[in-house]
Amino acid sequence: MRLLLLVLLFGGLSIGVGDRSPTILYLDLFLPLWLAYQIYFGNCIPDFRDRKTTYLAIACFLAFLASAIANPLDVFKSVAAIKIYCIGFLFYGLARRKPPSLLTLSLWGAAVGVLLLYNYIHTWANLIATMNIVAVKDEVGITLGRSNYVASILLMVIPLSIVTLPNESRKKRWVKFACCIVMILGLASTLSRGALAAECVGLIICLPLMFRAGLKSRHFLAGAMVLGLVYLLLPSDILSANTQLYELKFANSDARRLDLMRETWMDFQANPLLGVGPGQLPTWIGLHAVEYEILGMNAHNLVLNALGEMGVLGGVPLLLIVALLLGRVWRNACALKTPLAVALCVSFTAVLLHNMVEASFEGEQFQIVFWITAALVPSGGEQQHIKNGSPVTSWLAGPASGGRQPWTVLS
């Protein structure tokens, strides 16, 4: 799994196909070889025994196919969207069979943070004195994608990295601490107002669960010290840019984004059953509102994007999967009362709040991280097994030896 995540960081190749230049990720080329090797030599067969999620995923896939066939306007984009969805769910099965270490996720997130800071130093830091701050934000991004999209990915990883710090050995604790700092700095450098707000709201909403999981006053003090360190390390240009963007947001509403949402709703009303086709929403919006291309040409809302592209037949199962996972993390956090359970609750709550203003599910990189994180959440039967085993005795940084659940060390 760590090798696949590493390959994901390198982006891909742009290949000319007619008047298009699609990007083929290196991961798409490497994954079949890795999977064949793991199945043949390592007996690593994806685990899809989570029936509710698997049945809904199959329903989504069939609905996506039906929608693509019924909407041949841009079949290439539909095929790409279906491929992204299938690879994401494949990672769910792989991660359930062999969960990644949280240290691996922390190191990978830190690498994303480093790339973002490198982009700041070599690209947009030189533009901030000569360009409008909104135009500068459009230059923020790395091989994983544009700024808001990468911010959604970091929202999933940061809480999981922070929560296991107290249980690590001294060396690993310092490594994870450094990873957390770099990820937070990287998140700030994306200039994503929605991501920062979603993380804060997610933390506030989950605060009662944190106290039930053992949050103490000393943890608030440690958090304040971390934020103070981040403030000292954060380049003044990034801090100033974030402040300016928030001031602009409060002074002027984003009418263009609202128009995109309105356009998507109109497309859904015109095609309520099958939508306009998976991945084809940008094409339809382009036909009606070309001037909005700078915004990424999607609805910037998970619900509207799902209904607009796949209609009721495909959008509802996809949203049910999201609702199922969100409900599962909240039930687990309330029942298990472990720091890791609460951290997953914070991750999912924050990232889904952010997806109300940023439709990140259309990207393969986000889907992979989302499904890997979802695989760490035990289903109903697995949760009951954990509860009946014995009391929780420690925080755990990675998978338990010999098992697939990375939740507890049982006494």
Confidence (pLDDT) at 367 = 93
Confidence (pLDDT) at 30 = 92
Kindly tell me the number of DSSP H helices and DSSP E strands found in the chain. 18, 4
- Please check the confidence at residue 400 and state whether its pLDDT lies above 70: no
Confidence (pLDDT) at 101 = 86
Confidence (pLDDT) at 251 = 63
Q: Which of 2-11, 101-110, 379-388 has the lowest mean pLDDT?
A: 379-388
Confidence (pLDDT) at 38 = 85
Confidence (pLDDT) at 411 = 21
- Please check the confidence at residue 399 and state whether its pLDDT lies above 80: no
How many CB atoms are closer than 10 A to CB 276? 26
Between 27 and 240, whose confidence is greater? 27
Confidence (pLDDT) at 390 = 34
Confidence (pLDDT) at 254 = 66
> What is the average pLDDT across 328-356?
91
Per the CB < 8 A criterion, the answer to whether 126 and 318 are in contact is: no
Judging by beta carbons within 10 Å of its beta carbon (0-12, 13-18, 19+), is residue 123 exposed, middle or buried? middle
Residues 26-71: tens digit of each pLDDT = 999 999 999 888 888 877 788 898 889 999 999 999 999 999 999 8
If you search the block for the tokens 């889904």, which residue do you land on?
352
Confidence (pLDDT) at 280 = 87
Question: The whole model's pTM is what?
Answer: 0.87
Q: Which two tokens stand for residue 148?
A: 């808001």
Confidence (pLDDT) at 266 = 87
- Please check the confidence at residue 354 and state whether its pLDDT lies above 80: yes
Q: Please report, for the chain, the start and end positions of each structural domain, with discontinuous segments joined by +.
A: 1-45, 46-382
Confidence (pLDDT) at 157 = 92
Between 202 and 222, whose confidence is greater? 202
Q: Which of 16-25, 215-224, 320-329, 396-405 has the lowest mean pLDDT?
A: 396-405
% of the chain with per-residue pLDDT over 70: 86
Per the CB < 8 A criterion, the answer to whether 301 and 356 are in contact is: yes
SS3 percent helix, strand, coil of the chain, rounded to 5, is 70, 5, 25
